[in-house]
Amino acid sequence: MPDGPSPEEAAPAGEASPAEEAASGFVRPEEPYAGMDAELSERLHLPVYDHRLDEYEGYVVSRAVDTLVVECLADLGYEASVNADTRMDPLTMRGFGPQREYRRYGSTRIDIAEEHAFGLPGGDGGDPAYRIGGDADLRAGAEAAVSGQVEDVRTPSGEPLPEGGCLTWARRQIEPGSPMPFETGEDGTPADVPSSHMLVEDLLGESFLAAMEDPRVTAAAAAWQECMAERVDGYHGTPTSGEGAAPEAAVPSVECKDSSGYLDAFVGAERDVLDGLVAEHEEALTARHDRLRKNLGASLEILGW
């Protein structure tokens, strides 16, 4: 693999970088936030959301990584190309929200409950974001080259694999020092990759569990149960569950969350917990946030978006 400049370093004027030349296959979503409910997102907003990438921004970084993986494979002599049909699922924003906040407390959107009950349309995840050609042996070799988990891979070009394989190489073009596959931090938790903020995930888990025990939340949950008992015969779910329940319970579940004050109580309790946690970890949160913004900017350049 060439050890050339990273995408964070500008190519000479009028000259496209290899990554930019490889980027033509991915189409930028025209309105990635079209499906979101801005009022609901504001209502459910938690302070740590400001420190991580949202769903669209994470999609951008993932497509940039895919673009660089294809570049790496091509340099090693494999047949690889980006999948031009790759699209961001329009239900991502509508069904989950930019921070996946619409499902953090169970179903929260009436329109989604009306259309899909407690779930969302299932799918197989779509086709992969890049395609690998050649015979079975070549494809297997390319997959090994991506993961970097197989030793002594003989590439068609004769070039050695970059450390950690093409995936690690691609990530390091966006964020130097990105971890090897399955590498963990000092505390044993997964190490951050260019789109992630594991500290935010940890704090969100901590605040959720603490809020579950908050008296405001337990009182609101009891009020929700009373509301549901009046609306749906024999319903035994909880505000945050519902999958597998009778579809006709989906809309009442959302409506009872509003009338019982459950959503506002839970969000308020989480915010109270997170105010202290954010202050405690402010330096680390800010440093990672700044790095993520650089990663996003580099990814947009790679994709030519």
SS (H, E, C) 153-176: CCCCCCCCCCCCHHHHHHHHHHCC
Whole-number Å distance between alpha carbons of 5 and 61: 18
Listed range (17-21, 100-104, 152-156) with the worst mean pLDDT? 17-21
The DSSP letter of residue 92 is I
Asked if 176 contacts 74 with a C-beta cutoff of 8 angstroms, the reply is no
pLDDT band (50, 70, 90) for residue 111: very high
CA distance 250 to 231: 11
Confidence band for 121, pLDDT divided at 50, 70 and 90: low
Q: pTM, whole model, 2 decimals?
A: 0.88
Annotated domain spans of the chain: 38-303
> For 13-33, what is each residue's pLDDT tens digit?
334 444 444 445 799 999 999
Question: What pLDDT band is residue 10 in, cutting at 50, 70 and 90?
Answer: very low
Q: How confident is the model at residue 124 (pLDDT cuts 50, 70, 90)?
A: low
Q: Is 190 helix (H, G, I), strand (E, B) or coil?
A: strand
Residue 91 has pLDDT above 50, yes or no: yes
Cα angle: 49, vertex 179, 2; to 5 degrees: 120
What beta strand segments (E) does the chain contain? 80-82, 130-132
Say what the pLDDT of residue 244 is. Answer: 58
The answer on pLDDT for 125 being more than 70 is no
Which tokens hold the place of 130? 């890049």
**What is d(CA 214, CA 108) in angstroms, rounded to the nearest whole number?**
20
* pLDDT surpassing 60 at residue 12: no
Selected residue with higher pLDDT from 125 and 25: 25
Per-residue pLDDT at 126: 65
pLDDT at 8: 42
